[in-house]
Amino acid sequence: MYTTTVEWSRIVLALLLPIGLWLLTLALLAGQILYLLFFETRIASGIIERRTSDHLTATLGIAVLYYYDISIFIPVMTGIYPKGAQIGARYTFIIVLAGISLLSAATAFHYSISPITKFKGRSLLVFPPAIYDKDPISVRGAWIKIFNLIGLTSMVVVAMIHVWVYFIACILPKRDPALTLPFIAGLGVVVFLTGPLRNLILRYPSSLVATSKINQVVAQSAKAPEVRRSLSRRKSDPISWARGELLQIARILERMARQEDSQFGVNTNHPVAAIYRAVADHIRIYCNSAKSLESSVPSSMILTLKATEGLMITGDSASRKQLIRRLNVFEADGTPRALVTAPTSGSAARTVRTAARYADLSLVWLQSRWQAIAIALAVVAFLLGQLDLKSLLAVAQ
């Protein structure tokens, strides 16, 4: 009985090991992407706006990233390998991390000083020229964030590759069926979850994802009709390639509206929130109507999406006025108009919305203090000898 219990424990642990290793690798790679994002946004801002402080802050990002790789990432990853393989694993991880960092930084650097209205047809990274010309600095900053978001989805695959490497290097040579077969089953689970997790990352409700999806709909709408037909998974729904993205945009805009309201308290209604809700209402009305069964997204919807993107990224007054006029956002007395697809005002719905506002208020509080977090990291780097006093003072200013 005791032997059977131990055997089943080994099988369960072998089954869960690839999943845990995948998630651990992904979490550490996500940290790598986060530090790269900090460095890339600072260096791009320093190049575009010619701020010396941004260059110094970018240097801080490199110091912290180096400390993260040497003191956290590599020791954790090499620690799971047998002692005889740790040296080889260490050099391999150094090469992989250096390759990822250099590729990401070089690409972000190139497109921080180049127009990004065309990028080999990759719609998530293509911005309408009118929005780019209005505020290229803000658009380039959004581009770098979207680029790193896509990079995070790539790390999902990189983490899975690491699990395969671990299997070949550490599990397969043991030739233990009680270990190998459950590990292979766990690998199958990892492969199965890779696609959904990538999609989940690209569906995170934020303005960044909304911008990405707007870019995708706008770019695909400009393609030839035969190309759009090939994108549709259902013949009975000619715009199935855009319907899910549009509805996701509407959901994100609803959340952004709650965030706008939450910044000024629970019982406030921000006018920008009214605009976001009106756009979401407009999208849902279109997706629920017979017009959405036509072969293309109407030009009026494309113009609305572009104006919404311009408002989100640049705060352009022309885009704001266009949306207010086009969607009749406000009544004659200045109050937001009633929405056609607005949720019912039951007590349960009010409770959920109030809870969501408090949650968004907490999130806004955390986001407003990222600079303090950066300074704290700088102090840690200084205490560890990875940053000199001059750079530390530059960050604190």
Q: What is the pLDDT of residues 99-144, one digit of tens each?
A: 999 998 888 877 766 777 777 667 788 888 888 888 888 888 888 8
Tell me: pLDDT of 347 over 50: no
> Rounded to whole angstroms, how far apart are CA atoms 276 and 312?
10
CB 365 within 8 A of CB 263: no
How would residue 1 be classed by pLDDT, with cut points 50, 70 and 90?
A: very low
Tell me: pLDDT of 2 over 50: no
Tell me: pLDDT of 18 over 80: yes
Give the list of residues 6+ apart from residue 208 with CB closer than 8 angstroms, or none.
142, 145, 146, 149
How would residue 397 be classed by pLDDT, with cut points 50, 70 and 90?
A: low
Residue 358 has a pLDDT of 53
Only one residue has tokens 């959340």, namely 255
Q: Which of 91, 101, 30, 97 shows the shortest CA–CA distance to 61?
A: 101
What pTM does this model have? 0.75
Q: Interhelix angle for 2-49 vs 52-68, to 10°?
A: 160
Span 60-66, mean pLDDT?
A: 84
Average pLDDT, the chain: 80
Residue 346 has a pLDDT of 45
Q: Which of 199, 147, 188, 200 shows the shortest CA–CA distance to 22?
A: 188
CB 167 within 8 A of CB 187: yes
More confident residue, 79 or 49: 79
Query: What single letter denotes the amino acid at residue 309?
Result: E
Span 340-353, mean pLDDT?
A: 57
How would residue 280 be classed by pLDDT, with cut points 50, 70 and 90?
A: very high
CB 60 within 8 A of CB 378: yes
Q: Of all residues in the chain, what percent carry a pLDDT higher than 90?
A: 17
Residue 386 has a pLDDT of 53
Residue 390 has a pLDDT of 55
**Out of 111-115, 220-224, 279-283, 301-305, which region has the weakest mean confidence (pLDDT)?**
111-115
Residue 121 has a pLDDT of 65
Tokens of 299: 């030009």
For 284-297, write each residue's pLDDT tens digit: 999 888 888 887 88
Tell me phi and psi for residue 330, to 5 degrees.
Answer: -120, 150
CB atoms within 10 A of CB 129: 12
Span 344-370, mean pLDDT?
A: 53
CB 169 within 8 A of CB 78: no
Tell me: pLDDT of 34 over 80: yes
Tell me: pLDDT of 175 over 60: yes
> Rounded to whole angstroms, how far apart are CA atoms 41 and 32?
14
Tokens of 126: 């293509």
DSSP 284-323: HHHHHSGGGGSSS--HHHHHHHHHHHHHHHH--HHHHHHH
SS (H, E, C) 48-90: HHCCHHHHHHHHHHHHHHHHHHHHHHHHHHHCCCCHHHHHHHH
Q: Which of 9-18, 157-166, 261-270 tops mean pLDDT?
A: 157-166
CB atoms within 10 A of CB 367: 9
Domain extents in the chain:
2-202, 213-342
Tell me: pLDDT of 276 over 60: yes
Residue 359 has a pLDDT of 57
Residue 3 has a pLDDT of 47
Q: Of all residues in the chain, what percent carry a pLDDT higher than 70?
A: 81
More confident residue, 277 or 43: 277
| Angle of CA points 289, 246, 118, to nearest 5° | 130
> Rounded to whole angstroms, how far apart are CA atoms 359 and 258?
10
Tokens of 356: 């969501």
Q: Interhelix angle for 2-49 vs 86-112, to 10°?
A: 30
Tell me phi and psi for residue 336, to 5 degrees.
Answer: -60, 140
